[in-house]
Structure formats: C-alpha cells, structure tokens
Chain A
Amino acid sequence: MKHILNSLFLVIILFTGCYKDKGNYDYQPINDITATVVKDTFHVGQFDTLRISPVITGRDTNRLSFEWRVYPVTDPANPLDPGRIEVISRNRCFNQPITLRPATNYYNLDFVAKDTVTGVSYFKHLYLQVTTAFQTGWMLLEQKQSNVDISFISPDYIAYNSVYSASNPTMPLPVTARQIISISTQSLIGTLNMVYFDGGGYTLDNTSLQVLADYTKLFYASPAKVQPYNMIKPSFYSYGPYALCGGKVYGLNGMFASKLFGAAFTQPDSLGYTAAPFAAGGSSFGAIFFDQAHYRFMYDGGGTSTSLKVFPQNNTMAYDLNNVPKTMLTMKVGLGWELLPTNWYAVFKNESDDSCFLYTLNANGDFNTFPVAAAQQPILNSPDVHRSPDYLFSSTVKQMYYAADNRLYVYDMAANQSRVIYQFANGENITALKMMNGVITLATWNGQPGGGTVYYLPIAATGDISENTYTQRVSGFEKIIALTYKVG
C-alpha cells in the first residue's frame, strides 16, 4: 500500500512539472503621461480666479486622478515656519479663486496626475505668485479728527483709504501714532512693516497691514523703555538692523541668523548715552550714532560687538566728534556710491536759537587721510530750515531738500544757500516728504477735511523739479504726518 502511494505521489509531481505557464510576457508600453501648460509661472491677485488648463497626453488619460499641490504654505505669525504642502484642487483643470496668503516669494505649484491603475504619479512643476494691492506702494500715516489711520497708494497711483482700520477694526491706532517704517532687515525675519506710537508700536502684515504682533515681540526681552523712533540698517558692514528705542540702540544680528533684537547696547563709558533716532554706517564704522545727552558721536564696537564706543580724541579733523553741543535733527545718507556712500549728512540745530548746521561724516574714513569727521558748516541763507518735517539728500550732487509751510527748498551745500524749487498754494503746507529713485514724494494738507494730497516731483540733474511740475497727484486724504515706501 505504501509503495502504491509513493508511486502515485511521484506521478503527480512529474505531471506538475509539465504544467504550461500561461503568464503574459508581452511587453506593453507604459501609460506615460505628459502635461503641457502654456507657461510655468503665474501671477494672480489674492481672491482673483486662476485658470490653468493643462493639455494631457498619454495612452489612457481617462484613468487619471489629479491634484494641484501648493507649497510652502506657512504660518504668517511664525517667520521660521518651513511650511506645508496643501492640495488646493483635485480637478483636471484649475479654475478657482486663490485664497493663499500673498507673498513676495513664489509658491511652488505642482500639477500631479496619478495613474489610478499603476499608481504612478506624474508631476508638472509650476510657480505661482500671489499679490495684493498693498504689497508695493506708499504707506501714509494719516492724522484724522478723532483717530489715526494708514492709507495706501499703489504704484499705479490708486488710493486705498483707511486700510489699517479696515484690516484691524478692533485695534484702532493710538492718536499718538507718529511714524511708519518699512525695512528689509536682510535677516530671517525679512521685511518689517511697523507703526510707532507713544509707548509702543505694532508690526504689520506685509500684505494686509493687519497687526501681527506688539513691537516688543521683536526683542528677546522687552526694552526697559518702550519708545520706538526708528529702525535702520545703515550699511552692509554693520550687523544690524538697529532699533532705536527709548534713547537706546538695539541690534539684530541678521548675519548670524538671529530673529530677535538683543539687549540695549552697552554704554561706551560711565556717562551712559541717549541715542538720537538716526544712524550712519560704512566700511570703517559699521554704525555711527549720536549721543544726544552728551553731544558726541558713538559707534558700534565692530564685528559682533554689542557695546558702543566713543571716538578717540582728535583735533585734526573738521570737527570734534566728541563735542557737538547741538540737537540732531536728522542724519541720512547722501552723496556717493549707493552701497558704500562716502557722505552721510547730519543736520543740527542750536539749542538756544534756530541756527542750523550741516555736519558731514565719512563712515568709510579714518582719522587721517579720509577723516570720518569730514566737514561742517553753518547752514546759511536757508529760511525756516529748522522747521522742515524732514530732510532729503541727493546721492549725485551736494544738495539737500527741505520744506517749510507751502515751499519746497533745495539747499546747495557748496553755495551755502537755498532756493525755492516748488511752491504750493497759500495754506497748502508740506507735512511729510521722502525721496526715492530721483523723485520727491511729498504730502500736503490745506487744513480742510479731505485736504491731504500726495505729489510726485521728479528731480532734474540740476536739482530743480523737472519741468517745474509734478508728474502725479493723488488727493482725498486727511493730514499725512509720515509716509514710507514698502516693497512687498
């Protein structure tokens, strides 16, 4: 019996060996999918509808599923958020409003076609930029009858009134609001937009002007005295930007990837210091400040220092950097190569009268051949120069612009005299002015509701207003007390 069973088992095994393999070994072309789109970069305004119709080719395009993936989608409150991938559509053709947060950078937009049979995904990589009207243009700080607001003028001269209050209905600006700043910090925190008021400030979203955070959140620890006045990165040789707050200097070490401002820079000596809200900088002295309490210039100790230093005593230069017993009205960059200007100008006023003085600093200089204290002169023949809401300096000629009442003046440093280069109607007084790319943008107010106007005045090579007229005029504002150009 056992013998029969073994024989039977052997026969079964032998027959099994003759089994014909009925597998399919024909080579079939794979379902290779190709998507073609008219262009690979798209620009769209936030909430506008984006339409993309990719042309899809392949053996079988009916068995595909689709995804439109966008990344990085980041948390606006966290500048270091690496972002996530978000699927914003599963349709073959994209046709819907874009609600993504506007940004300067481009989003990656991947069109993904997945073969539902093989599971293979095919990618078409695209770029998407989402913009808003408030990304680039002039921010205007308006003083109204009962409040303060921020309005906006786009590069095509369209006015958007009361943008701040519309974006922040429950967070009105204090009536003490005095300054708006937009600065590229050249650090991980990117562009900062801020509004300062008595005792504090807010950082604003770059596209909506919504309040992001309290000013003090920019610091490791809140400054002892929260009284912000300015933020500036005077040169790429400095480790700034510097925040000038409550008479102290604070630095953000952008080069070492810091995202917060540190403690107040240590005083240069036992006298202490009260910094005027301005800074100059260059290759020799990354940042120069003025100690208003002791009428002396100071400089950032260099490298990654967080201490201020006073200049050594030197009587061979145009003036004594440690003895300028006047009130600093401004200190700004002037004549010279944009990246490394040799002329920074400081305007001072006597404390006992209205006489003003122009001091020139060369932050690329030294104490001998190219003195850092380069020149100084009283400002003569310049009516009401002490009353200007701001001072502007040409980068190509030795000229300064200032305003008083309804007149715009140019001060010729070499001739040491000023002349009126534009005059508005009586009662329409200049309240704020800035210069950018050879154009003076200034605000006037005639004292009437809605009587605020912004003018664009191009500068000719002579320093006069080109063709003696403005190129653009945008009206219908209240009293504009500060303006700044922001780049989204």
Chain B
Amino acid sequence: MKKLLVILFLTACSKDQISESWNGQQSVYFIYNTNAVYSGGIDSVSYTFVEKSSTVSQDTVWLPVHITGNQSGRDRAIDLAVVANKTTAIADVHYRLLSYNMPKDSFTTRLGIVLLRDVSLRDTSVVLTLSLQPGKDFPVLMKDTLMADGAYYNRSQARIIFTDRLIKPGNWDSYLVIFFGAYSETKLRFIASVLGIATFPSEGPNALDYPTLQYYQNAVRNALLAYNTENGPLIDENGNPVVIP
C-alpha cells in the first residue's frame, strides 16, 4: 500500500506534454444561416429572380463552407454532389455546378451555384439539394451537431429553393393600391425590377413607413416614364397600360 502511494505521488509530478499544434481530421461543412430558421430551415437558401431586372438571365448563389483541421499550403478539392431524390431542379435548365476547392491557407470559402432563369420558374419553385462528399482532401464528414432550430445536422447538406414566380402582396388591395394603383402581374414584375423588392410589409418589424413607400412610388413612376419613352407603353397581362398614380 505504501509503495502504491509513492508511485501515485511521483506520477502526479510528471510534466504534461501538450502539443503546440492540433491536427484534427480534415473535413468541410456548410455554414448555415441560423436566421433562416423561419424561412425554409437553417440548411436552406431561398432565392427569387422576381426582384431582378428582366435582363438578368442567371445569377449565382454563394454557399459558405468552413473546414476542420489545419489550413493547407495548396488548394484542396471540395466534392459537391446533387442529392437526386431531394432535388426537383434540372441540371443545365435550372442550375449549373462549378468545380470547387478550398484555397490554400484558408479556413473558409464560398461555393458558387449558378441558377438559371428558366421560363418554367415563373410557374413553380424548384429545390436543389447539394451534399458535400468525402474526398481525397476532406475524407470525413462532420458529425451531427445540435443547431439553433433544435434539430441535429451534420452540415454536409444544403438546399436552394428558387423561383421566378410572382406572388401578389397580401396588402396590395388594402394599402399598396394607394401608391401603385390597381394590381397586375406585369406591374409588380416591373416594380420588382426597379426596386429590387417585391414585398412591401405594412405591419411587423420590417414594415415600410409612408415616406419610404412614397419614395418607391416616385422612383417606379419615373422609371416607368423612362421605359415608356424608350419602348412604348408597358402593357399588362389584361391589355391595359401600366400606370403608377
């Protein structure tokens, strides 16, 4: 017993050798937007072409990724694949993937997904589910982590939900009609192309005040005048000229 105590005391005096660096397993994972918990889920990105100019035929959505483990002195390939059974978007019709890598000496980068403004998006929204794959440079996936929405994610999957479909704002007839007049889809699409927004909340934390809507009205009216001068009157889907009061 006494011998055992002596051994224990001596062990307590040994110096702990801590490594000056840490070399964990190399993996790459998506950085989710926790603010999106109420808008499609934190693993999802929503995108609409509606708020883009009519001349925009494609756009790029950027998905941020991070790595575990150390940086590298060389670019490292990131393998990204489409999850077919969770995807309704069609390759080269609705989207195009690029080749991806983690730049040397970096912990983070963004993966650009090219979204194509196909005419079919005017009637529907499509889903593109992407998955990070184990590969030569990043051989393992992250383990499940409890995220802000109370669910577990391994952060290797991300969804992009995109559309070009217009939705008539619910407050149009009760409020927006003061600023923009009678509703038509053509008018809303024109408004969205000028202002870059297609919703105009009049209640809640993001409610727009009267002067801001007045400014929007004025800006759209001026843009419509310029459009009409250059192209002739803008006619809506009902055959009526678009007018901003």
Residues on A facing B (Cβ under 8 Å): 220-221, 252-253, 256-260, 262-267, 270, 304, 306-307
Which residues of the partner chain B approach A259 to less than 8 Å between Cβ atoms? 211
Separation in Å of the A156 CB from the closest CB of chain B?
Answer: 40
Which residues of the partner chain A approach B212 to less than 8 Å between Cβ atoms? 220, 258
**With the chains together, A253 CA to B211 CA distance in Å?**
6
**With the chains together, A252 CA to B214 CA distance in Å?**
10
> Is the pair B215, A257 in contact by a Cβ cutoff of 8 Å?
no
Which residues of the partner chain B approach A306 to less than 8 Å between Cβ atoms? 214, 217-218, 221
> Is the pair B210, A253 in contact by a Cβ cutoff of 8 Å?
yes
> Is the pair A262, B209 in contact by a Cβ cutoff of 8 Å?
no
Separation in Å of the B131 CB from the closest CB of chain A?
Answer: 41
B148 touches A (CB below 8 Å):
no
CB nearest neighbor in A for B211: A258
Interface string of B106-143 (1 = CB under 8 A from A): 00000000000000000000000000000000000000
B225 touches A (CB below 8 Å):
yes
Which residues of the partner chain B approach A266 to less than 8 Å between Cβ atoms? 218, 221-222, 225
Which residues of the partner chain A approach B84 to less than 8 Å between Cβ atoms? none
B81 touches A (CB below 8 Å):
no
29 example contacts (A-B, Cβ-Cβ < 8 A) are as follows: A221-B219, A253-B210, A253-B214, A256-B209, A256-B210, A256-B211, A257-B209, A257-B210, A257-B211, A258-B209, A258-B211, A258-B212, A258-B214, A259-B211, A260-B215, A262-B211, A262-B214, A262-B215, A262-B218, A262-B219, A263-B219, A266-B218, A266-B221, A266-B225, A304-B210, A304-B214, A306-B214, A306-B217, A306-B221
Looking at chain B's contact residues, the main secondary structure is helix
CB nearest neighbor in B for A265: B218
Separation in Å of the A177 CB from the closest CB of chain B?
Answer: 29
CB nearest neighbor in A for B221: A266
> Is the pair B211, A267 in contact by a Cβ cutoff of 8 Å?
no
**With the chains together, A306 CA to B210 CA distance in Å?**
13
**With the chains together, A264 CA to B214 CA distance in Å?**
12
Q: In chain B between 210 and 241, which residues have their CB closer than 8 angstroms to a CB of chain A?
A: 210-212, 214-215, 217-219, 221-222, 225, 229
15 A-B pairs besides A266-B225, A306-B217 with CB distance below 8 A are A252-B211, A256-B210, A256-B214, A257-B209, A258-B210, A258-B212, A260-B215, A262-B215, A262-B218, A263-B222, A264-B218, A265-B218, A266-B222, A304-B214, A306-B214
Separation in Å of the A307 CB from the closest CB of chain B?
Answer: 7
Which residues of the partner chain A approach B218 to less than 8 Å between Cβ atoms? 262-266, 306
**With the chains together, A265 CA to B219 CA distance in Å?**
9
**With the chains together, A281 CA to B110 CA distance in Å?**
56
Which residues of the partner chain A approach B209 to less than 8 Å between Cβ atoms? 256-258
Which residues of the partner chain B approach A307 to less than 8 Å between Cβ atoms? 221
Which residues of the partner chain B approach A256 to less than 8 Å between Cβ atoms? 209-211, 214
**With the chains together, A264 CA to B229 CA distance in Å?**
17
Which residues of the partner chain B approach A260 to less than 8 Å between Cβ atoms? 211, 215
**With the chains together, A263 CA to B223 CA distance in Å?**
10
CB nearest neighbor in B for A219: B215
Separation in Å of the B181 CB from the closest CB of chain A?
Answer: 13
Separation in Å of the A95 CB from the closest CB of chain B?
Answer: 46
**With the chains together, A105 CA to B218 CA distance in Å?**
34
Q: In chain B between 196 and 220, which residues have their CB closer than 8 angstroms to a CB of chain A?
A: 209-212, 214-215, 217-219
Interface string of B171-186 (1 = CB under 8 A from A): 0000000000000000
Which residues of the partner chain A approach B219 to less than 8 Å between Cβ atoms? 220-221, 262-263
**With the chains together, A258 CA to B210 CA distance in Å?**
8
**With the chains together, A262 CA to B209 CA distance in Å?**
13
> Is the pair B225, A267 in contact by a Cβ cutoff of 8 Å?
yes
Separation in Å of the B119 CB from the closest CB of chain A?
Answer: 31
**With the chains together, A220 CA to B214 CA distance in Å?**
11
Which residues of the partner chain A approach B210 to less than 8 Å between Cβ atoms? 253, 256-258, 304
Which residues of the partner chain B approach A220 to less than 8 Å between Cβ atoms? 212, 215, 219
CB nearest neighbor in A for B244: A266
Separation in Å of the A269 CB from the closest CB of chain B?
Answer: 10
Separation in Å of the B130 CB from the closest CB of chain A?
Answer: 36
Which residues of the partner chain A approach B217 to less than 8 Å between Cβ atoms? 306
**With the chains together, A304 CA to B210 CA distance in Å?**
10
Separation in Å of the B232 CB from the closest CB of chain A?
Answer: 13
**With the chains together, A420 CA to B210 CA distance in Å?**
52
Which residues of the partner chain A approach B229 to less than 8 Å between Cβ atoms? 270
**With the chains together, A173 CA to B222 CA distance in Å?**
33
**With the chains together, A231 CA to B219 CA distance in Å?**
20
Separation in Å of the A245 CB from the closest CB of chain B?
Answer: 15
Which residues of the partner chain A approach B221 to less than 8 Å between Cβ atoms? 266, 306-307
CB nearest neighbor in A for B219: A263
**With the chains together, A307 CA to B218 CA distance in Å?**
8
Separation in Å of the B44 CB from the closest CB of chain A?
Answer: 31
> Is the pair B211, A263 in contact by a Cβ cutoff of 8 Å?
no
Which residues of the partner chain B approach A263 to less than 8 Å between Cβ atoms? 215, 218-219, 222
Which residues of the partner chain B approach A264 to less than 8 Å between Cβ atoms? 218, 222
**With the chains together, A307 CA to B219 CA distance in Å?**
11
**With the chains together, A47 CA to B214 CA distance in Å?**
43
Closest 3 CB pairs of A and B: A258-B211, A262-B215, A306-B218
**With the chains together, A220 CA to B208 CA distance in Å?**
13
**With the chains together, A260 CA to B216 CA distance in Å?**
12
Which residues of the partner chain A approach B225 to less than 8 Å between Cβ atoms? 266-267
Which residues of the partner chain B approach A267 to less than 8 Å between Cβ atoms? 225
Which residues of the partner chain B approach A270 to less than 8 Å between Cβ atoms? 229
Which residues of the partner chain B approach A253 to less than 8 Å between Cβ atoms? 210-211, 214
CB nearest neighbor in B for A267: B225
Which residues of the partner chain A approach B215 to less than 8 Å between Cβ atoms? 220, 260, 262-263
Which residues of the partner chain A approach B222 to less than 8 Å between Cβ atoms? 263-264, 266
**With the chains together, A86 CA to B229 CA distance in Å?**
57
**With the chains together, A342 CA to B166 CA distance in Å?**
51
**With the chains together, A270 CA to B218 CA distance in Å?**
16
Separation in Å of the B218 CB from the closest CB of chain A?
Answer: 4
**With the chains together, A270 CA to B222 CA distance in Å?**
11
**With the chains together, A266 CA to B225 CA distance in Å?**
9
Separation in Å of the B111 CB from the closest CB of chain A?
Answer: 32
Separation in Å of the A70 CB from the closest CB of chain B?
Answer: 31
Separation in Å of the B184 CB from the closest CB of chain A?
Answer: 20
CB nearest neighbor in B for A248: B222
Separation in Å of the B8 CB from the closest CB of chain A?
Answer: 49
CB nearest neighbor in A for B228: A270
**With the chains together, A252 CA to B210 CA distance in Å?**
12
